[in-house]
Amino acid sequence: MGLGLGAIPERRYVRAVISEADTGVATSSWPKLSEVPRDVLLEVLIHGPLSRAEIAGRLRLSRPTLTRVAKALVQRGLLVEGDTRPRSSAGRPSEMLHVRGAAHRFLGVKLTPERLFAAVTDLTATPVAAAEEPLRSCAPEEVVAQIADVARRFPGVTGIGVTLGGVVLDGLVAWDEFLRWTDVPLKAAVTRATGVPTAVDNDVQALTAAQHWFGPGAGLRSLAVITVGAGVGTGLIVDGRLVAGSHGLPPHFSHTLVDAKGPQCGCGRRGCISSYLMTQVMLRRLAGRPTYEEALDRVRAGDREAGQVFAEAGYALGVLIGTVANVIDPQKVLLTGEGLPLYEVSSELVHDGIEDTYEDDPDLIDLDARPFDFTEWARSGAALAIKATITGAISERPQLDRRR
């Protein structure tokens, strides 16, 4: 999510006292796949049931090669032969290959400063169980112990994915504004505590990847995911790949200027997107410091003060959408987050912001607003584990240069 970390002194963070040692845990429950079998599995996983002919055509494989690879994946329990589909021309019906979802299960965990959300999915990221509980402590050791406690309730998972609202570099939480962490080797610690291979990433990045593999963005070459709530987050898919900056930072639009005379955000900047859209900043502008639900009730009841705050927030959201669309011209813009009711009560202002910012016809923007809850955020952690397990890595991000 929108972090705005530059103005926050390091003393506010909790340095890790858990050590980052070699865990020695091997992914023995997941079969080693070479490039071609992996690509075949991913093709069916992302695009749904396909015939052998379709897979061979998509991946430019010969029919004998595809037949041999598909047979091996079926024998390993990852694919299964399913229903048939009539061919468009004369001949035998095409037998479809499906991912065998029940072959593996994955645990996803989403951390907030107050709560831990967990979801267990199958190999297709379909949820099969969920849990939610208060976070006992924000101390890194206590959080790791709590994740391990949750993992014990769901034995037999192939992998674990943990997401949070911070900057993550190769499993190291470089910093997290919300948990007040810096340099926490969370991947190694959770793997050691659970005995299960673990992936860790920024929550918006993980959500974006999950929607690109298992959601409304499945198979698209370009996608923008915008989240609104406690922070303002943006995730981008360009040319079929998740975008990550050279210093490990996710795409960051939250300090784009809307009005130089506007309110201040948490970092002291005035009139930026965060100063209008972050939930706590919006509520701070209202008399009586209401909850978000109470503020929404005021807007729906015609309260002028609340209406103005939400109208300005809606316009700022439109500026954000238009700015992102100008940058990558995505096939789809997915809008979500716990602050999504903002769109419901101020959609006209959102579209005004888009029209004033986007340089082309606003009708070209495929805007898809989806009210994901925290279980969906946890599911994205499971999807992260699925991706890390299949590809062998979460991403190829460089190490952060600590000499600066």
Dump pLDDT digits (tens) for 266-285: 777 888 999 999 998 899 99
Is pLDDT of 352 > 80? yes
- Report, at the CATH architecture level, how domain 220-369 is classified: 2-Layer Sandwich (3.30)
Count of CB atoms within 10 A of residue 154's CB? 18
Ranges of each domain in the chain = 35-102, 104-208+376-391, 220-369
Residue 249 — pLDDT band, cuts 50, 70, 90? confident
Q: What separation in angstroms does the CA of 7 have from each of 11, 127, 175? A: 12, 39, 13
Contacts of 367 (CB under 8 A, 6+ apart): 321, 333, 335
The DSSP output letter for 226 is E
**What is the pLDDT averaged over residues 187-213?**
95
More confident call, 264 vs 329: 329
Burial-class residue 75 by CB neighbours within 10 Å (0-12, 13-18, 19+). exposed
Residue 246's pLDDT is 78
What strand order describes the sheet that includes 14-15? 14-15, 181-184, 172-176, 167-169
**What is the pLDDT averaged over residues 348-355?**
96
Out of 1.10.10.10, 3.10.105.10, 3.30.70.60, 1.10.10.60, select the CATH number for domain 35-102.
1.10.10.10
The length of the chain in residues reads 404
φ, ψ dihedrals at 223, nearest 5°: -155, 140
Is pLDDT of 2 > 70? no
The DSSP output letter for 168 is E
More confident call, 401 vs 102: 102
Burial track 87-125 (b if 16+ CB lie within 10 A, e otherwise):
eeeeeeebebbbbbbebbbbbbbbbbeeebbbbbbbbbb
Q: Token match 């949750």: residue?
A: 150
Residue 18 — pLDDT band, cuts 50, 70, 90? very low
Rg of the chain over CA atoms, in angstroms?
A: 22
Q: Which helix (H) or strand (E) holds 127?
A: strand 127-134
Residue 93 — pLDDT band, cuts 50, 70, 90? low
**pTM across the whole model:** 0.86
* Three-state secondary structure call for residue 52: helix
Residue 12 — pLDDT band, cuts 50, 70, 90? very low
Q: Do domains 104-208+376-391 and 220-369 have the same CATH topology?
A: yes
Is pLDDT of 109 > 60? yes
Structure tokens at 28: 């023995």
CATH 3.40.33.10, applies to 104-208+376-391: no
Residue 167 corresponds to which amino acid? V
The alpha helices in 16-106, defined as continuous H runs, are 35-47, 52-59, 63-75
Dump pLDDT digits (tens) for 72-86: 999 999 999 987 665
